[in-house]
Amino acid sequence: MEQEKSKILQQIPDSNRNNIVCIEVVYKTKLSSHFLHIQNIASTNPSKVHGRAIGFFIAPSLLVTNIHVIISARSVSIKQFDVKRSKEPKLFTIEGVIAFDAMNDLVVLKVSQQCENYFPIGNSNTVKQKDRVLTYTYAEVKYRSIESTINYSSTDDGWHFINTQLSPWDTGAPILNRNGEVIGIANTLSKKMDDSIGITGYTYVIPSNTLNSIFEIAEKVEPIVAWKKRPVIRAYIEDIHANMKIKENKYKEAIVNFDTVLHLNPNLVQSYVTRGFTKSILNDYEGAISDCNAALRLNRGFVQAYTNRFTAKNNLQDYEGALDDLNILHQHFLDSIELSQLYVHRAGVKNNLGDFEGAIHDYTQALEMKTEDQMSYYNRGEIRKVLGEEIMNQGNIIEAQNLYHGAIKDYTKVIQLTPDRVNAYFRRGIVQHNLAISLVSHEKLDESANYYQKAINDYTEVIRWKYWHFTSYYNRGLAKYQLGKNESKRGNSEIAKGHYKDAIKDFDIYIPQKRKQHVNAYKNRGNVKNALGQFVDAIEDYTKTIQLDPENVSAYDNRGYIKTNLAESKAETGNVNKAQKLYLDALEDYNKAIQLTPEKPKIYNRRGIVQHRLGKSLVDQGNVEEAQKYFQEAIADYSETIRQYPKYAVAYNNRGLTKYYIGLSEIDLGNEGKAIGYFQDAILDLDKTITLNPKYIRAYNNRGKVKNALNMHKEAETDFSKAKDLESTD
């Protein structure tokens, strides 16, 4: 059924149908017709027509079509149908070739009979993008007109595009402007290519000025048999053989054939592109790029050269070069490619270049066009997750949380579209886990608890699908431990214990499977056991962590902390020797931790506490002089803490308290003058503590003790009262 023409093109007379012919071809082999993408209507009977194409008259006996239509034909029939009158078709006999362009797949045939109607040839340099055009073809011997739009207009005699994908048997059809002039010749020859970008329906158009140029230099008629022997024409035959090899997956042999093609005819753009595509299959990406470059030197408008070159550059991790090609496609070939796919690929390249914001923008653009593309949602979620983690580490918590919320929405959309996408649950669990941690840092404990639970639910869903997904056990155990800490802060100690016990169960499942791969599982299980008061078992887990990772600072730090607490417990029950042994063991752990990371202020503070308590224990035994050595070491540790962290109120309090105890020890030694000096220094430290944290209850109590030692009893009572007031309002 003939399509209705727009008003712009209605002035073109329908009598133009008499200017075109149907070219019916019988090829030497059926494979020829297949690889030339002519309509394959052949049967086992070789006398049947293998394919059809189009030709059109530009003078009474001069007919234009594509070289590839006739190059491997055993016989060619040229027919002109009068559909309205249902007459037998008029036949034309080929006398020979009068002109051709072996680069642009164009041939002008001289026929014996004359046609009364022919097309005027227009100036293709006047063609602009978005121009409306018309073509005439035969479909199953039925005449039709097809309206289209110029997608891409070359400015350097390269090929144009129209935004309609004509049928293979429409190759050779004339493309007319609004004046009824031929401004191009359709070429539907398109071999197998990488199409990862998503090339949409379009047809290459050979500019009419190319036809004008060869017609102007046309000489005498050359018999087709002689013409086919020309090297530049024989190249088309070799090109067919090369494509046969691709069809048979004989890629190395195909490249050999293409080498012959391009030796015979160095100007065949399509052959460069197809050879490049074949090289990419063999992972010769440098060779593929070289061939695409050669094609683009000949024809800058060959869109498949850009898409193939992009793929090769991307595989070589030349992301800057790949982005350049995608930007060219975006700038010049929007109407000839699937834009959503271009955005997807460009997002991936930008992600590889570290341009996360640009990648998110491109995925968003793609999703506006294809709202159900679950892979784009997933990839955008991944980028938001990674960028959120990076920004979180930089301290920008609010921006990180916004990215986490966006990632959660993306993963949720993936799950809605593909409920069995297990990895989406896992990744969403990680993001919800990260979001919960960030909310804790802002003291939003209720909201944080909600996201910890959501993360736990996602990890559980992964385990439901894949019980062997042991990383989900680890992550779930960690989330349960952190949720337990959260509940403890909220005053829900019994609920917290339940989460701690559940966390240990998950770590117990994970560790036998992955004990050599993830030493942090031992450390975190140790943290949970510590929270449950299972100190000996916790020390065992920290020791195992250190055996697997001798430079695990937090394992030394945590083991030292537990040993300190155990030492206190032993000291309270009167087991002084055991307590002192544990203090010394704790000191060894802190020494190792500080040796590994000298810039960790809070570890110095913890080591100071151990040395302070060891000093007190020695004083109780009457060993005052040795005790003072540990007190001085403690002061040195607190001072280093303050140097690295000048606003750490706890360190000022601890240093002040230690100075108080040194003062007491000096009194025991009869040095009251020295004692007063230590007491006065202690008050300065405690004053600083209260300035930094006016609600620090211990600091008021400690300052009261020091003031009593200085006989400042009234002032001391004021501090003790302040401490009681703070306790009552806490």
Q: Which residue has the tokens 């004339």?
A: 174
| DSSP code per residue over 575-628 | -HHHHHHHHHHHHHHHHHHHHH-TT-HHHHHHHHHHHHHHHHHHHHTT-HHHHH
Buried b (16+ CB within 10 A) or exposed e, 16-54: bbbbbbbbbbbbeeebbbbbbbbbbebeeeeeebbbbbb
C-alpha to C-alpha distance for 482 and 492, rounded to whole angstroms? 13
Q: What is the pLDDT of residue 714?
A: 95
Domains of the chain with bracketed CATH: 7-226 (2.40.10.120), 233-337 (1.25.40.10), 422-513 (1.25.40.10)
Q: How far apart are CA 712 and CA 153, in angstroms?
A: 95
Q: Which pLDDT belongs to residue 495?
A: 96
Query: Tell me, what's the pLDDT at 2?
Result: 40
Distances (CA, A) of 508 to 470, 500, 503, 514, 587: 11, 12, 9, 10, 30
Contact between 51 and 169 (Cβ < 8 Å): yes
3-state SS class at 229: coil
Q: What is the mean pLDDT of the chain?
A: 89
Rounded Cα distance, 540 and 562, in Å: 11
3-class DSSP assignment, residue 132: strand
pLDDT at 357: 95
Q: What is the pLDDT of residue 10?
A: 59
Tell me the one-letter amino acid at 85. R
Nearest Cα neighbor of 50 from 62, 58, 41 is: 41
Calpha distance 487→245 (Å, rounded): 68
Q: Coil, strand, or helix at residue 300?
A: coil
Residues of the chain with pLDDT under 70: 1-15, 28-49, 83-86, 139-141, 153-157, 189-201, 216-219, 335-336, 514-517, 730
Report the candidate in 99, 79, 100, 75 with the shortest Cα–Cα distance to residue 89.
79
pLDDT in tens, 605-660: 999 999 999 999 999 899 999 999 999 999 999 999 999 999 999 999 999 999 99
Query: Rounded to an integer, what distance in angstroms lies between the CA atom of residue 112 and that of residue 96?
Result: 9
pLDDT tens-digit readout, 132-188: 999 988 765 677 888 988 877 665 657 888 888 888 888 999 999 988 899 999 988
First-residue to last-residue Cα distance in the chain: 87
Identify the pLDDT of residue 546: 94
Backbone angles phi, psi at 712, to 5 degrees: -95, 65
3-state secondary structure of 176: strand
- Determine the Cα–Cα distance for residues 145 and 134; give it in Å rounded to an integer: 7
HSE-CB of 243 using CA atoms within 13 angstroms = 23
C-beta neighbour count of 134 within 10 angstroms: 22
Kindly report the length of the chain: 730
132, 9 Cβ separation under 8 angstroms: yes
How far apart (Å, rounded) are the C-alpha atoms in residues 268 and 236?
9
d(CA 662, CA 665): 5
Q: How far apart are CA 706 and CA 712, in angstroms?
A: 9
The CB-based long-range contact list for 327-334 (8 Å cut-off, 24+ gap) reads 329/197, 329/303, 332/152, 332/301, 333/151, 333/152, 333/161, 333/303, 333/306
CA-CA-CA-CA torsion for 327, 329, 331, 334, nearest 10 degrees? -140
Beta bridge partners of 719: none
Torsion of CA 300, 303, 306, 308, to 10 degrees: -130
Q: Is 568 exposed, middle or buried (0-12, 13-18, 19+ CB in 10 A)?
A: middle
At position 381, the amino acid (one-letter code) is G
Nearest to 651 by CA among 601, 613, 599, 694: 601
Q: Is the dihedral of CA 364, 369, 372, 375 positive or negative?
A: negative
Enumerate residues 6+ apart whose C-beta is below 8 A from 673: none
Do residues 95 and 108 make contact, with C-beta atoms less than 8 angstroms apart? no
